[in-house]
Structure 1
Amino acid sequence: MEPMFSPALHRQRHEFVIDFVKSYKPKKVVDLGCSECSLLKQLKFHHEIELLAGVDIDSAVLVKKMRGLAPLPTDYLQPRNDQLRIDVYHGSVTQKDARLIGFDLVTSIELIEHLTLADVKLFSEVVFGYMTPVAVIVSTPNADFNPLFRRVSGFRHSDHKFEWSRAEFKSWALKVCLDYGYEVEFTGVGQAPPGYQENVGFCSQIGVFHRLGVRAVRNALSSNDAEDASSYTLLYSKIYPSLRDSNILRRVLVSEVLYWAEKLGRRWVEEEKTGEKDDADTPDQAGGEGKERCRAPESPLQLEEEQTAACGAAMKSLVEHQEVGELFWADGGGLQESCKLGRCVAVPLFVLWGCCPKICALSGSLGNLRQLLMDNGKVNLSQDGSALLLNFHEQEDHDDFEDSGYAEAMRCPHSVEPEEDWDANV
């Protein structure tokens, strides 16, 4: 019986790369021979990566598939903390391009067997000698495994120029290490049937190369390299939305502030109407820490409710300390025009900053929070800029936050297009 792989072998190879990324957290990754960009589509969700590149010789396939690397709607609603740029190049892995020098990780998944042996030598020079990445993952078919495939005569694919045995792959890898200053670990994916593993090894053999020591990456190109410095053609480049963009940071922060301010303001107003006392623990700003704050929440919803209760307790404590005149107003006769027609509640910025971790993380400091909210048309601050003013008479008929679609989108999980099963099981 021929060996069957679950999950499919191409998925196992990609999972191997993803596990490596999770462990080593490279910031710059390039996939050589990226073909239909399948691996790139998976790697873009790993937020430690800041630059993701792909190179392939088949421009027609790239043009057809590279649009699938575009940001999803949720990438705009929930931006990354750090920037991500994705570049897709048309070019040959036997040519040098200075834009790919010094990456943290280079992957070559089932690629080298499509090259002639002369081109494999050029591949080694380009990847290990010129690009000088910190780590390289190379996978290729294991010829020792082929006898287990009864329907395979010769190579596994018509375009393969060779298929190495484990000894041949090891010989090439060790020479690369000797020539360019790397060390290598041998492994693979695709387990053989019981009783065969020791004799035939993995279906796909993998070499994981690590650069030895701290090797200086070229900052200048020699005259011989100059003509090849930009040999690839950039077909696609996209910068993902991130909080490094000040406009995006301000938009996310304002949405978060409006959400929490209205939640807390409504809670306070309702408690004032009903006369109910909130026994929730008071956070540090209101004087004291509660025992329940040390208990881990059972779910994100419970965490949000506990944060709301804690902030509500802080607001109530301020009222009880007779700071109403400064921080909370009702029937705002002397306030700004927008508050004259209804009940106006002022939510102190320090309560929002101190009780809501995301607001704290986005703003960095109370001063930054105030600065980022100033001159924003969606935010109505008090004259001294210390509190956010909410007019609940107006907002009962129109909830800006809910109508914006932001809240609904935040409740939706990531919707990821299923990966095409474009590769054969082997």
Structure 2
Amino acid sequence: MNTIFTPPLYIQRYEFVIDFVKENKPKKVVDLGCNDCTLLRKLKFHKEIELLAGLDIDCAVIRAKMYELAPIPTDYLQPGDHPLTIELYQGSVTERDPRTKGFDLVTSIELIEHLQLEDVDRFTEVVFGYMAPVAAIISTPNADFNPLLPGLTGFRHYDHKFEWTKVEFQTWALKVCKEFGYVVAFTGVGQIPAQEESIGFCSQIGVFQIDRSGGDAPRLQNNVAEEHLPYRVLYNVVYPSLCDSNIFQRTLVNEVLYWAETLKREWLEEIRGVGDEESEQTDEEGCSREGMDREESQTGEVERVEAGGRGFEVENEEVGGEGRTDMGQVEPYREGQSVCVPLVRLCSCPRVQALSGTVQRLTKFLLENSRVQLTNDGTAVVLVDSDDEDLEWDENFDNTGTGPFFVSSVENEDWETELGQ
């Protein structure tokens, strides 16, 4: 049946939910009848969601796919600002469980038609009376559309207990609104035949939202300890986040080291003249831009410095000779066999700035971490110039051993001679 729609109808239903999430940004979402967790796997990438739950009566179908909801490597490399908790339950949507209270969004995609008609009222009371979400998305087949589906006789699925017409679905939805204080908007997915617009969508959808015309509706408290818990927990995972101090520290240090190495490499390429004509032309353009920017800085506006094709801003600082500001050195520089990348330059990198906020905070965090070596005055990250480890320095090299980062050379091993070969 889905093959007559492009994209397939089930994908259109999921995309409808995703679009709603993008627009309304709910923090807590539960999918009733989550089946193989396909919708949950799509929703977990939306950073605004803090709690994602799924419920299904079929334990086996959840277990078959639940580990696909586990964090992936990028979740550890780029953790979110807040933790994402994912919980999967086995249970019936006609039973009350206090862990389902207080959600911003409840989704029930092609579920209600799998219930016995006598259970629909119970489902309605549990979802809208007990769970009382801020919003709910309910989708179900439109029986009026069935004659247009080639080869279909009877219901669309062997497990369907009923299929509502457009009028029947809307009658049920309006009754829900009257009894539980919601408003509903009717829509759907599945293209409407031009000559049959009165039939409606192939899959009809009701978007319910709490009626706030009389003021904000009260939210029910989650008194888990006081009530029976009929649902069985099948899976629970908490994603890494920057709320964890250890994860925050590791993420910040990784970003600092990455950008420090990047800036070091670009600076070394520039001073060593590495690059073709295009890179030389880029350097000349960069100098021209920098010259114009210096003129603008005389007006007291923000100075913009170009480095390696990237621009960054140093607010309320005047850039003097040799790339320095009142806060210290801006561009990388050499100390002995090391290259020093100033923290003020690192703090201009968007991700580092977002994590640390200020140079002062960045300094504080780095002083507490042994993975990063700072200069004696704590203003720059020290990196070894690996390309020059085995080379003699020119007359500018401090070979007295008195420099703050002097590293004595190590004699190269000659294992062939030692073995008498």
TM-score bin, normalised by smaller chain: 0.7 to 0.9
Aligned-pair distance for 1:88? 0.7
Q: Do the aligned partners of residues 389 and 188 (structure 1) sit closer, same or farther apart at CA in structure 2, a change above 3 Å counting?
A: same
Aligned-pair distance for 1:394? 7.0
Deviation string 1:117-159 (CA, Å, 9 cap, x unpaired) is 2211111111101111010000011111112234222211111
Is residue 216 from structure 1 mapped to residue 215 from structure 2 by the alignment?
no
**Corresponding residue for 1:424?**
none
In the alignment, the residues of structure 2 paired with residue 113 and residue 322 of structure 1 have an alpha-carbon distance, to the nearest angstrom, of 69
Q: Does the Cα contact within 8 Å between 2:256 and 2:346 map onto a contact in 1? A: yes
Aligned-pair distance for 1:74? 1.9
How big is the alpha-carbon RMSD for the aligned residues of Structure 1 and Structure 2? 3.6
Is residue 233 from structure 1 mapped to residue 232 from structure 2 by the alignment?
yes
Deviation string 1:3-31 (CA, Å, 9 cap, x unpaired) is 81111111111111111111111111110
**Corresponding residue for 1:369?**
362
In the alignment, the residues of structure 2 paired with residue 218 and residue 133 of structure 1 have an alpha-carbon distance, to the nearest angstrom, of 9
Q: Which runs of 5+ in 1 are unaligned?
A: 295-302, 333-341, 398-426
What percent identity do the matched residue pairs reach?
52
Q: Do the aligned partners of residues 135 and 330 (structure 1) sit closer, same or farther apart at CA in structure 2, a change above 3 Å counting?
A: closer
**Corresponding residue for 1:258?**
257
Q: Do the aligned partners of residues 123 and 35 (structure 1) sit closer, same or farther apart at CA in structure 2, a change above 3 Å counting?
A: same
**Corresponding residue for 1:121?**
121
Aligned-pair distance for 1:113? 0.5
In the alignment, the residues of structure 1 paired with residue 308 and residue 145 of structure 2 have an alpha-carbon distance, to the nearest angstrom, of 57
How many residues end up aligned between the 2 structures?
Answer: 370
In the alignment, the residues of structure 2 paired with residue 181 and residue 281 of structure 1 have an alpha-carbon distance, to the nearest angstrom, of 61
Deviation string 1:157-207 (CA, Å, 9 cap, x unpaired) is 111111111111111111111110000011111123331222x21111110
**Corresponding residue for 1:159?**
159
Q: Do the aligned partners of residues 347 and 305 (structure 1) sit closer, same or farther apart at CA in structure 2, a change above 3 Å counting?
A: closer
Q: How does 1:39-118 map onto structure 2 within 5 Å?
A: 39-118=39-118
Deviation string 1:254-309 (CA, Å, 9 cap, x unpaired) is 122122223333444454455987616459x999569xx99xxxxxxxx9953268
Q: Do the aligned partners of residues 136 and 329 (structure 1) sit closer, same or farther apart at CA in structure 2, a change above 3 Å counting?
A: closer
Is residue 29 from structure 1 mapped to residue 55 from structure 2 by the alignment?
no
**Corresponding residue for 1:319?**
322
SS state at 1:195 partner: helix
Deviation string 1:55-109 (CA, Å, 9 cap, x unpaired) is 0000011111111111222222222233211111111111111111111110000
**Corresponding residue for 2:310?**
307
**Corresponding residue for 2:279?**
none
Q: Does the Cα contact within 8 Å between 2:174 and 2:184 map onto a contact in 1? A: yes
In the alignment, the residues of structure 2 paired with residue 231 and residue 289 of structure 1 have an alpha-carbon distance, to the nearest angstrom, of 68
**Corresponding residue for 2:400?**
none
In the alignment, the residues of structure 1 paired with residue 339 and residue 319 of structure 2 have an alpha-carbon distance, to the nearest angstrom, of 13
Aligned-pair distance for 1:366? 1.7
Is residue 347 from structure 1 mapped to residue 335 from structure 2 by the alignment?
no
Aligned-pair distance for 1:242? 2.1
Q: Does the Cα contact within 8 Å between 2:2 and 2:9 map onto a contact in 1? A: no
Question: What amino acid does structure 2 have at the position aligned with 1:111?
Answer: L
In the alignment, the residues of structure 2 paired with residue 40 and residue 257 of structure 1 have an alpha-carbon distance, to the nearest angstrom, of 34
In the alignment, the residues of structure 1 paired with residue 183 and residue 72 of structure 2 have an alpha-carbon distance, to the nearest angstrom, of 39
Q: Does the Cα contact within 8 Å between 1:346 and 1:390 map onto a contact in 2? A: yes
Question: What amino acid does structure 1 have at the position aligned with 2:344?
Answer: F
In the alignment, the residues of structure 2 paired with residue 243 and residue 11 of structure 1 have an alpha-carbon distance, to the nearest angstrom, of 33
In the alignment, the residues of structure 2 paired with residue 136 and residue 109 of structure 1 have an alpha-carbon distance, to the nearest angstrom, of 10
Question: What amino acid does structure 1 have at the position aligned with 2:262?
Answer: K
Question: What amino acid does structure 1 have at the position aligned with 2:203?
Answer: S
Q: Does the Cα contact within 8 Å between 1:329 and 1:346 map onto a contact in 2? A: yes
In the alignment, the residues of structure 1 paired with residue 141 and residue 40 of structure 2 have an alpha-carbon distance, to the nearest angstrom, of 21
**Corresponding residue for 1:279?**
287
- Greater strand percent: which structure? 2
**Corresponding residue for 1:417?**
none
In the alignment, the residues of structure 2 paired with residue 2 and residue 383 of structure 1 have an alpha-carbon distance, to the nearest angstrom, of 67
In the alignment, the residues of structure 2 paired with residue 220 and residue 368 of structure 1 have an alpha-carbon distance, to the nearest angstrom, of 38
**Corresponding residue for 1:383?**
376
In the alignment, the residues of structure 1 paired with residue 384 and residue 77 of structure 2 have an alpha-carbon distance, to the nearest angstrom, of 26
TM-score, normalisation: structure 1: 0.77
Question: What amino acid does structure 1 have at the position aligned with 2:371?
Answer: K
In the alignment, the residues of structure 2 paired with residue 90 and residue 152 of structure 1 have an alpha-carbon distance, to the nearest angstrom, of 32
Q: Does the Cα contact within 8 Å between 1:191 and 1:197 map onto a contact in 2? A: no
Q: Does the Cα contact within 8 Å between 2:31 and 2:107 map onto a contact in 1? A: yes
TM-score, normalisation: structure 2: 0.78
Deviation string 1:310-356 (CA, Å, 9 cap, x unpaired) is 89xx9995526699998876454xxxxxxxxx2x2322212221x21
Aligned-pair distance for 1:231? 1.5
Q: Do the aligned partners of residues 15 and 289 (structure 1) sit closer, same or farther apart at CA in structure 2, a change above 3 Å counting?
A: farther
Q: Do the aligned partners of residues 268 and 148 (structure 1) sit closer, same or farther apart at CA in structure 2, a change above 3 Å counting?
A: closer
Q: Which has the higher contact order (CA 8 A, sep 6+)?
A: 1
In the alignment, the residues of structure 2 paired with residue 306 and residue 367 of structure 1 have an alpha-carbon distance, to the nearest angstrom, of 26
In the alignment, the residues of structure 2 paired with residue 147 and residue 233 of structure 1 have an alpha-carbon distance, to the nearest angstrom, of 40
In the alignment, the residues of structure 2 paired with residue 330 and residue 271 of structure 1 have an alpha-carbon distance, to the nearest angstrom, of 13
Aligned-pair distance for 1:32? 0.2
Q: Does the Cα contact within 8 Å between 2:319 and 2:326 map onto a contact in 1? A: no
